[in-house]
Amino acid sequence: MKSYKKIVSLVLCCMMLAGIALLAGCGSSQKADKKVLKVGMECGYAPYNWTQTDNANGAVKIAGSDAYAYGYDVIVAKKLAESMGAELEIHKIEWDGLAPAVASGKIDAAIAGMSITSKRKESVDFTSPYYYASVVALTKVDGPFGKAKDINDLKGAVATSQLNTIWYDLIGQIPEAKIQPAIDNVPGMIVALTSGKVEVLVLDRPTAMAAAFANPGLVMLDFKDAKGFEASKEDVEIGIAVKKGNEELVKQMNSVLDKMTDADRDKIMEEAIKSQPLAN
């Protein structure tokens, strides 16, 4: 009898343990199945993206950090994540590391003001453009080129731009430009300009607008009517980089991006420029 009771008790214990294990298994499975959209950006490229200390305006916490990211790219990333029913996870990655991070699968996408170039298409795929950015110049208001009316007026300028961007490649269109080594990031470029190390920066319109908004001593030179920089279609189309062959993710993102109008994009960019920390 005692042996029988022991056997019954043992069986009941095993059943209870199996039930607990099953419940635990269900819980971890649900967590593992939760959708997460991992997005990489510099978090230092206003107005596309930047780092701030709190979640003001809807900023998203940067993975592995106490800081938050916000800007045009974050606003767009939030829209995409919401459309997918996914949790947005922002990863801070240096510019040169973005494409490799996408290619290796470390992140799902790079939303970082990246031009859709044929060279980049060799390592990653792109969505439809989520912004169109013309190329302009930035200089000091009271500097020797502050009143320039066309690109020829920049003749002989000491100029630079960001490393591994199409902007740097276009500096040569300035007559007799004294081209300096490229700089890693936009904040470093602004320091070089305000300190007098260089006289002109070549960059895209949103970045120049944000810099001039935050620094009253700077002025954006947006030459019109074929008097400015000659840029190709791929130079001004800004897209989202994803891993090669990930057609499903491209399709999901394009279903949102293709519905955005020029007015929608301008509104988001204006919001980003007014929200950047240095603008307050």
CA 85, distance to chain mean position in Å, is 21
Count structural domains, the chain. 2
Closest by Cα among 190, 103, 198 to 145:
198
In a domain, 24, yes or no: no
Contact 195, 215 (CB under 8 A): no
- pLDDT tens string, the chain, 280 residues long: the values are 444 444 444 444 444 444 444 344 433 223 456 799 999 999 998 899 999 999 999 999 999 999 999 999 999 999 999 999 999 999 999 999 999 999 999 999 999 999 898 999 999 999 999 999 899 999 999 999 999 999 999 999 999 999 988 899 999 999 999 999 999 988 899 999 999 999 999 999 998 998 999 899 999 999 988 899 998 888 889 999 999 999 999 999 999 999 999 999 999 999 999 998 765 4
Q: What is the Cβ-side half-sphere exposure of residue 215, based on CA atoms within 13 angstroms?
A: 23
Contact 156, 177 (CB under 8 A): yes
Looking at the structure, do residues 107 and 170 belong to the same domain, yes or no? no
In a domain, 248, yes or no: yes
Looking at the structure, do residues 115 and 165 belong to the same domain, yes or no? no
Query: Whole domain around residue 168: which residue ranges?
Result: 135-230
In a domain, 69, yes or no: yes
Looking at the structure, do residues 89 and 172 belong to the same domain, yes or no? no
State the residue for tokens 């590391």: 97
Looking at the structure, do residues 124 and 200 belong to the same domain, yes or no? no
In a domain, 128, yes or no: yes
DSSP characters over 51-66:
EESS-GGG-EEBTTSS
State the residue for tokens 């470093």: 188
The two three-digit tokens of residue 231, written as one number = 């840029």
Strand-pairing partners, residue 200, are 139, 159
Confidence (pLDDT) at 278: 62
Confidence (pLDDT) at 19: 45
Name residues whose C-beta falls within 8 Å of residue 166's C-beta, 6 or more positions apart in sequence: 115, 117, 135, 231, 234, 235
**pTM (two decimals):** 0.73
Looking at the structure, do residues 101 and 178 belong to the same domain, yes or no? no
Domain at 119, CATH number: 3.40.190.10
Looking at the structure, do residues 241 and 262 belong to the same domain, yes or no? yes
Looking at the structure, do residues 112 and 152 belong to the same domain, yes or no? no
170: buried, middle or exposed (CB in 10 Å: 19+, 13-18, 0-12)? Answer: buried
Confidence (pLDDT) at 23: 40
